[in-house]
Chain A
């Protein structure tokens, strides 16, 4: 079997706040194979975004990666110097964000910002960089790229900006692309365009993709494998088909049951009672037990481990 592109082992990222230490990511492990799309799902505060920032080496104080290993193509990212990491970012390792407007600098043209990537990582001169920029813009489906390359971010629509961000992220043909809620800020019909584009590019470049989202529809559409996170931990991990067909963890089951679906009419949706626990005041035992319909005494006292409950299907539950 081929070695994995990315291997994350027992990652721990903590935020030291005035009121105490928040373990945003608490011992998370997963891997991404070449050309694979791994989705990380969870609700706000579950640690999915912090996980991705940890991989990128972009966790800002008061946050800090306090433990674990992140191996990208045989290199431990956590052992690299800041300079080496910067060389990697935008080159081997890329990221696109939810809000493309804030990720683009408003005072530079698209060509300027996209060309910067080529100039920095590929040592191209200005003319070459521009030519490559136009080519890249065409690649992500931007019409009359020759013109767009000279426009400023505010002159483009949200969908176009996200395309530009994708072009920038893919400019140096990265081995791993992290997409953090890439379509959440977009309209449905534009989301469909961007998802199609990501699929096409994933196939074409054989890029490994980590897709971070709260939208289970997007997961079902895009992912090969899925990691479900709750309160800073992985609670379930499986290939996309098993996860949707046979979710093992009560949280995953609850999430799937709470979705209104287009192809059915239900009077009442299932719902998970309560809300996500306060990270400074985590419940004892299983973090999900206060909201779990099947919780027992054991769940209140002991912490379940992530274990294989079916072939390549992991769940963190005593009763899975």
Chain B
């Protein structure tokens, strides 16, 4: 145990509060460039989004086009590879690079939409639960508890098996299993923001509950939502890949990274590239989003912000 004196040095940090800020955007850019991982994360995300949006323009081949003669060709830098298929071809002779480029569409679509569904449900219920308290709060929070008590993967498997796998069901299932996280986080934030004096002040001037929730509370809790949801996009991409790997995700002919992994699994010993490159794509994308999310947390979390000042 050290003397408790050390814990107090933070006091010294309270210098110069009234420092003028340059433009918000310029400040963000400056803070971003300061963080190496943040910059890398943002670059990766930009590349992946670019890939997804302009897939048809940049992909060298049709991802679904099979060429029996070109089966399991290695990447171009290996013996037998050709520049026509830079990352080789799979068991049906489809171009791996093109499939990865098209696969980014599914990964991003599922990641972003599922988080949007989860976020919408979670934020609304979290706001309501935290702001009104009482019975409403109890009801919502017990629902949250019961959701947490069911193993996610089991729940998803059951639903997907019953409804049959498709992009929409996948998004809905991932959304419905993840909203609890947001509800809990937002509720916690609301509970603390609700006690701040500016909320009291709004009530003394006669503002309605709706106005208080949307103009006073929501803007002050949204930053933690942004941080968590960024990180969730990454975990959702992995979840989608896992489900596709199990055959319950995206169905052919739509390309997805998880599906590619699943297909390539059997050829791992002889043609490693079929499964490895989609795996690398997943890893890089997830890492990039995580880096970006960490950086966002650093700048949006007020506690961290105080330190950055």
**Chain A contact residues, CB within 8 Å of chain B:** 15, 17-19, 22, 24, 44-45, 49-50, 53, 56, 58-60, 63, 89-90, 95, 97, 102-105, 108, 112-113, 116-117, 180, 275, 278-280
Contact = CB atoms under 8 A, between A and B. Distances in A.
A63 B12 contact: yes
Contacts of A97: 5, 8, 11
B16 A17 contact: yes
Given A45-B14, A49-B12, A89 B5 contact: yes
Interface of B: 1, 3-20, 308-309
A24 B12 CA distance: 9
Nearest to A45: B15
Contacts of B19: 17, 19, 278, 280
A236 to B, nearest CB: 22
Contacts of A59: 9, 12
Given A50-B15, A53-B12, 6 more contacts: A18-B308, A19-B19, A63-B13, A105-B1, A275-B18, A280-B19
A53 B9 contact: yes
Contacts of B16: 15, 17, 19, 22, 45, 278-280
A279 B11 CA distance: 16
A303 B129 CA distance: 59
Contact of B7 (A17, A50, A102): A102
Contacts of A53: 9, 11-12
Contacts of B4: 103-105, 113
Contacts of B1: 105, 108, 112-113, 116
Given A15-B15, A49-B11, A280-B19, A117 B5 contact: no
A60 B12 contact: yes
Contacts of A278: 16, 18-20
Contacts of B15: 15, 17, 22, 24, 45, 50, 279
Nearest to A104: B4
A44 B16 CA distance: 10
B11 to A, nearest CB: 6
Nearest to A62: B13
B20 to A, nearest CB: 8
A239 B12 CA distance: 28
Nearest to B11: A49
A210 to B, nearest CB: 15
Contacts of A95: 5
A17 B308 CA distance: 9
Contacts of A180: 11
A89 B4 CA distance: 11
Contacts of B20: 278
Contacts of A58: 5-6, 8-9, 12
Nearest to B1: A116
Those 10 A-B pairs whose CB atoms lie nearest each other, nearest first = A60-B9, A279-B16, A103-B4, A22-B15, A22-B16, A58-B9, A15-B15, A97-B8, A278-B18, A63-B12
A112 B4 CA distance: 12
A279 B19 CA distance: 9
A17 B309 contact: yes
A260 B7 CA distance: 35
B171 to A, nearest CB: 41
A152 B10 CA distance: 24
Contacts of B5: 56, 58, 89-90, 95, 97, 103
A89 B3 CA distance: 9
B1 to A, nearest CB: 6
B17 to A, nearest CB: 8
A64 B30 CA distance: 25
Contact of A44 (B7, B8, B14, B308): B14
Nearest to A100: B4
A17 to B, nearest CB: 7
A275 B18 CA distance: 10
A73 to B, nearest CB: 20
A211 B13 CA distance: 20
A318 B10 CA distance: 36
B138 to A, nearest CB: 28
Select the residue from B11, B17, B309 with max chain A CB neighbours within 10 A: B11
A50 B12 contact: yes
